[in-house]
Structure 1
Amino acid sequence: MCAQEIEDRKERALYYLSRTLVGAELNYLPIEKICLALMFAVQKLRYYMQAHTIHVVSKADPIMYILSRPVLSGRLAKWAVLLKHASRVEISDDLPGEEIFYVDVLPPWQMYFDGAARQDGDGDGVVFVTPQNHLMPYVFTLTQLCTNNMAEYQTLILSLQMAIEIGVRDMDIYADSKLVVNQVLGEYEVKKEDLIPYHQRTLQLLNQLDDIHVGHVPRSANKLADALANLAATLALGA
């Protein structure tokens, strides 16, 4: 609701807005649903906001949540652009007569992956860590022989496809392959032609996520994914 204060500090309703959450919006964090409501209002009421100073009253701080993120991508980047255009927007946590509640912002998903290439079979292992610290381990057996780097890329691609299918939007991705990590980050050039299609497909999938971090970890920190990949490769021997 957009309201105007009249005499005796009473409010007169000017405009009502509402919409239904659809698709991936149903899986947004509580704070992101508040951000979505604010962005919807900014778009629909932009003419009011351009002509007047608007005080946003909310039980959480959507503006701070959007602008304080170290890396903006996907919907967060779009929301930040909208906020910059609404330059006179202010936020207040003053809610007379109501108790302020705090929205817990859950950490992003984590994904650890590893690929193992052998002469007789290839295996992939991936471990998802949910925001509630639940482990979700998976193994894949590849029937086509490939190099270690190709196996790493195939593991990453399969893992990203799984993450997208279950509705993951924000994720920290870790691997012990320095080459693959730095190629994905754009710090290394992809020189081998057989890796170029894998690299391009990986970037396509990453663009479907909203907020990602890709990092290198030593093999000692990736033991579970490494063990799963070796297990899958061993199982391939009897396939």
Structure 2
Amino acid sequence: MKKEAPFKWETECEEAFQHFKRVLAEPPILAKPQTGETLYLYLSITEEALAAALVRENEKKEQKPVYFISKVLQDAEARYSRLEKLAFTLLTASRRLRQYFQAHLVTVRTDQAVKQVLQKPDLAGRMLAWSIELSQFQIKFEPRNAIKAQAMADFIEMTPGKLTLESWKLHVDGSSNSTYGGAGVILENQDGITIEQSVRYEFLVSNNQAEYEALLAGLSLAQEVGAKVLEVNTNSQVVSSQINGDYQTRDPILQQYLAKVNKLRKGFEHVTIRHVPRERNARADLLSKLASTKPGHGNKSLIQEVVKTPSVSTTTNAHLTISNQGSWTYPILQYLLDGTLPPDPKEEKRIKREAANYTIVAGQLYKRGFSQPLLKCIEPENTEYILREIH
């Protein structure tokens, strides 16, 4: 056997040893945030566990850890969808680090549509309860960037690799008759989250125009939830072929619709428009037909939005109902739309608490509950008309 070479303590060994001693002598210390300072929260999930890192940034944009939390998912928690797990991670962090959430503005940095999901109108059960509980804190959301601090190594190791952009499927269908037009929209992601929307148009509309209106409503809904990769399914061969360039668009009105669709498509990373048979678009077809009829007793649980003017005749995508400043809905709408709050601290706290029970669907304010359909909020000047119609 070959004789082992004698061990030599060389200069490199001494340098490595001294470096190791310095590391042991200077363990990472959690930073103490200053009063009123903005803190940043990073979320991480795996199949069996969740983790969150709360950090602060100094003037040089250097990140220092404030606190870490982790939790092993139990039973039903492990079966949550990805977005539900992320929302649950945020909720867990707010409970364990309540003192930081109460004293500081917390900005959540994530590349997932957590904010959009927590504000969707079809929330029910635990997600709605989580949304209401989180509304008591000052929480903002922004796209996630790199965690710069070396002290985040443990957190980064358990963070899943860079996620590919989540793909969403959109099914749209439009219908029209001699009185009304309607649109059915179904948006779903890979985690099984499904959002259904039914829109009724109170203006004369052709079949092709109704199909375009449905597509515009679907693209707007996809933008609201933060979708970037979208697969659109429509049973209108005319619309799909015009958008894909297979057919020429000679009708002036359809040209306006096509230009608006192309403008909305620029807000996505990738959009695919596919023509599918009507039987593969049956649910969206049903929603469009229900929307194009007068609301009756059979569809009370269905959210039916009413649009009074065509999309091509306006400059905005959403037909927003603007309330006067004296209305009770005005401060809630202002907060939900752009985050504007009253200057009075007590009134600010009240509006933030109440706003958690409301949502905006296509510009209309609705009140939501645990086990009831969305309740449409009306302006004071409309109450007399509604009471007169009821009686």
TM-score interval w.r.t. the shorter chain?
0.5 to 0.7
Cα distance, 1:105 vs structure 2: 4.7
Determine whether 1:184 maps to 2:268: no
RMSD: 3.7
| Distance (Å, rounded) in 2 between the aligned partners of 1:162 and 1:99 | 33
Could you say which structure has the greater relative contact order, defined with CA pairs below 8 angstroms and 6 or more residues apart? Answer: 1
Match in the other structure for 1:26: 110
Determine the C-alpha separation between the residues in 1 that align with 2:295 and 2:254: 23
Pairing 1:118-197 to 2, within 5 Å after superposition: 118-197=177-256
What one-letter code is carried by the residue in structure 2 that aligns with 1:198? Answer: Y
Corresponding residue for residue 290 of structure 2: 231
User: 2:281 — aligned with what?
Assistant: 222
**Distance in structure 2 (CA, Å) of the matches to 1:114 and 1:223:** 9
Say if 1:172 and 1:213, in contact at 8 Å, map to a contact too: yes
Partner of 1:110: helix, strand, or coil?
strand
SS at match of 1:221: helix
Letter in 1 for 2:205: C
Q: Select the structure that is richer in helix.
A: 1
Which digits, 9 at most, give the CA deviation of each residue in 1:33-76, with x for residues without a partner? 89x75xxxxxxxxxxxxxxxxxxxxxxxxxxxxxxxxxxxxxxx
SS of equivalent residue, structure 2 residue 263: helix
Match of 1:43 in 2: none
Partners of 1:108 and 1:136 in 2: CA distance: 15
Change beyond 3 A, Cα 1:146–1:100:
closer
Equivalence for 2:131: none
2: CA distance, partners of 1:203 / 1:100: 36
Paired amino acid for 2:181: D
Contact 2:165 2:229 in 1 (8 A): no
State the Cα distance separating 1:204 from its structure 2 match. Answer: 0.4
Inter-partner Cα distance in structure 1 for 2:213 and 2:62: 43
Partner deviation per Cα, 1:91-136 (whole Å, 9 max, x = no partner)? xxxxxxx899666657511100000011111111011112212321
1:20-99 equivalences under 5 Å are 26-28=110-112
* C-alpha contact 2:234 2:281 (8 A) present in aligned 1: yes
- Structure 1 gap segments, 5+ residues each: 1-6, 11-16, 38-97
Q: In the aligned structure 2, how far is the partner of 1:190 from the partner of 1:156? A: 16
Alignment correspondent of 2:258: 199
Native 8 Å contact 1:143 1:236 kept in 2: no
Is 2:270 the counterpart of 1:211? Answer: yes
Quick one: distance in 1 between partners of 2:220 and 2:275?
20
Cα distance in structure 2, aligned partners of 1:157 and 1:214: 13
- Cα distance, 1:182 vs. partner? 1.2
Q: What is the distance in 1 between the residues matched to 2:229 and 2:167?
A: 5
The aligned length equals 166
SS, match of residue 246 in structure 2? coil
Report the Cα distance in structure 2 between the residues aligned to 1:228 and 1:210, rounded to whole angstroms.
28
Task: Give the conservation status (yes or no) of the 8 Å contact 1:114–1:175.
Answer: yes
Change (3 A) 1:182 1:18: farther
C-alpha spacing 1:167/1:118, structure 2 compared with 1 (3 Å): same
SS, match of residue 175 in structure 2? strand
Q: Tell me how far 1:176 sits from its aligned partner.
A: 0.4
Aligned mates of 2:224, 2:252 — CA distance in 1: 29
Residues 150-199 of structure 1: CA deviation (Å, up to 9, x unaligned): 00101111221121122222211110001101111122211111101111
Instruction: Compare CA radii of gyration and give the structure with the larger one.
Output: 2
1:212 shift after superposition: 1.7
